[in-house]
Amino acid sequence: MTHYKILFLDIDGTILRPDNTIEDSTKLAINELKQKGIEVFLATGRPLHEIAHLALELNIQSFIGYNGAYAIHKGQDIFKAPMDSSTVENFLEIAKDNEHKLVMYTHEKNIFTELESSIVKEFIQAFHMKKNEQFSQDDIDKILGITLFNLSENEPALYEKAEPSIHLAQVNVDGLRHCYDVIRDQVNKGIAIQHVLEHLNISRSESIAFGDGMNDKEMLSYVGEGFAMGNGHPDLFQYAKHKTTKVTDSGIYNGLKSLGLVE
């Protein structure tokens, strides 16, 4: 009988391979844990309205989305934290001054400052985003998360200096290294997991998580058993208790096997 009760899985680079498919070993591992009564959450930077097909494929009904701004357990809201509208306004101004692009996520859609640039089109294609609209001021107080495009290596500091309670995490997808997720110190995957564990009365030591990007560092640091994927961002490994194999080499399965949770 295992003492682990809950598993949190990032999507891109953790569940999804570069060709946007899921290994059979990953599906097998998730099914085995569910049969053992272990709760399984998808924990992603993606907006939840864009992952329904993955949830269906994996038969998962619990989620952390928008890099921790929204958590749902089997249809019940646990945690929801829109961004401060003044922060959004500030970032829009910085982006305009520096020729950066933004996508802002609400509960229902993806709002872009520009839809026609090649960088934005690459991002939309990479993440198969469907519900895309041009930014309108009417949505300013509904923003749950932001991704920034076209930043050079030193430019995240422009935003971090303007808003000290946030930091930028580079998107860990080949070809999109100029993109950064906005992570709030008090709203991130780790904080969302804390709310989930409190809601379900589960201890940190009973929790497991897998991730590959810098937006996963708070999650991997917080859980009892944090696994960084072998293909993870080089700076992520210091935040994880374990390092597993790559997403293309049964990383989730092998990590769970090391805990004795799969055969």
Q: What CATH number belongs to 6-81+187-258?
A: 3.40.50.1000
Which H helix or E strand runs over 123?
helix 118-126
| Mean pLDDT for the stretch of residues 165-193 | 90
Percent of the chain residues past pLDDT 70, beyond the cut: 100
Which of 126-135, 207-216, 246-255 is the least confident region? 126-135
Q: What pLDDT is stored for residue 98 in this prediction?
A: 95
Which H helix or E strand runs over 168?
strand 166-170
Q: Rounded CA gap, 261 and 4, in Å?
A: 9
- CB burial class (10 A; 0-12, 13-18, 19+) of residue 137? exposed
Question: Is it the case that residue 69 has pLDDT exceeding 70?
Answer: yes
If pLDDT is split at 50, 70 and 90, which confidence band does 117 have?
A: confident
Question: Is it the case that residue 1 has pLDDT exceeding 70?
Answer: no
pTM of the model: 0.91
- Supply the angle between the helices 251-258 and 24-35 in degrees, to the nearest 10: 40
Q: What pLDDT is stored for residue 135 in this prediction?
A: 92
Question: Is it the case that residue 177 has pLDDT exceeding 80?
Answer: no
Q: What pLDDT is stored for residue 119 in this prediction?
A: 85
Q: Tokens at residue 133, please?
A: 């609209």
| Mean pLDDT for the stretch of residues 13-20 | 94
Q: What pLDDT is stored for residue 118 in this prediction?
A: 87
Which of 99-108, 123-132, 183-192 is the least confident region? 123-132
Q: What is the pLDDT of residues 81-110, one digit of tens each?
A: 999 999 999 999 999 999 999 999 999 999
In angstroms, the first-to-last Cα distance of the chain is 14
The residue extents of the domains of the chain are 6-81+187-258, 85-184
Q: Rounded CA gap, 188 and 183, in Å?
A: 6
If pLDDT is split at 50, 70 and 90, which confidence band does 197 have?
A: very high
- Does the domain formed by 85-184 have CATH 3.40.50.720? no
Side-by-side strand order, sheet with 225-228: 76-80, 70-73, 62-65, 39-43, 6-9, 207-211, 225-228, 242-243
CA distances from 27 to 22, 40, 177 (A): 7, 12, 28
C-alpha R_g of the chain: 18
If pLDDT is split at 50, 70 and 90, which confidence band does 127 have?
A: confident
Q: Rounded CA gap, 263 and 34, in Å?
A: 14
